[in-house]
Structure 1
Amino acid sequence: MKDRSHDQAMAEQFRADPAYAAELLAEVRRDGDPAELAATLRQMAEAFGRAGPWWDGLTDDERALCAAQFSRYDTADYLKTGDDIAAYLDAVAEDGDPALIAAALGDVARARNLSQLARDVEGDPSLATVVKVAHALGLRLVFKPTHGGSEPAAGG
């Protein structure tokens, strides 16, 4: 397998099948997702350059997206201290989405350069895996009442 980026692979696909490139661009425009549009335009610029009929059909805003350089965002890059990590995990836990919590633990593992732990929480980990990963990160799960703790427990 060649060592190439996703953008390079897509550019190769576009060069091999320009009709597919045009169809994909039309679909991405309909969907209206700016990030997806920027990625598709970047890949098409790599495939076809910044000239020709495809380029002439772009709006000024789309041409600007082709020229824009976007940096990769990774939450792990911003988790510098224990307080950062605790605040991040608290915010994620408020949503209550298990997949989001697992992803957040993966972010924390990457922030601490624990790549195997980050891989362990990909997909749909069990609660046991989440607890083990949290423990390995020096964290513990804490449960708090959602309504201040003054309401009686259900069934009681």
Structure 2
Amino acid sequence: MVEKFYDYDPADALKTDEAIEVFLNDAFETGDAQYIARALGVVARAKGMTKIANETGLAREQLYKSLSEQGNPTLATTLAVLKAIGFELTGKRHAA
């Protein structure tokens, strides 16, 4: 029997703002900048990269590159994307 493998895009699972919030919180809790950038890219694809590009004033290609696994978005880009997807960056005290 031949096994079939399918491409999985997590963006397909992010249908609600609640799902996106859980996904982003999980990414932020890792503290891994590359993982967070990639998670923002997944959410941007779920919301529509062209729409995000239009709302942020950034080029779609730049967003794909910045929000990829190898990306390193600036804080300005991160804040603009978060705003465009309806979220904000907030601080909370780190539990020691």
What fraction of aligned residue pairs are identical, expressed as a percent?
A: 39
Match for residue 111 of structure 1?
Answer: 46
Equivalences for residues 65-144 of structure 1 within 5 A: 67-115=2-50, 116=60, 118-119=63-64, 120-122=66-68, 123-144=71-92
Residue identity matched to 1:105: L
How many residues in Structure 1 have an aligned counterpart in Structure 2?
Answer: 83
Q: TM-score, normalised by structure 1?
A: 0.49
Q: Structure 1: 5+ residue runs without aligned partners?
A: 1-63, 152-156
Q: TM-score, normalised by structure 2?
A: 0.77
1:65-93: per-residue Cα shift (whole Å, max 9, x none)?
A: xx211111111010010000000000110
Contact 1:103 1:121 (8 Å CA) reproduced: yes
Q: Which runs of 4+ in 1 moved over 6 A?
A: none
| Higher Rg | 1
Alignment root-mean-square deviation, CA: 1.8
Aligned equivalents of 1:126, 1:145: Cα separation in 2? 23
SS of equivalent residue, structure 1 residue 145: coil
- More contact order relative to length (CA 8 Å, sep ≥ 6): 2
Q: Structure 2: 5+ residue runs without aligned partners?
A: 51-59
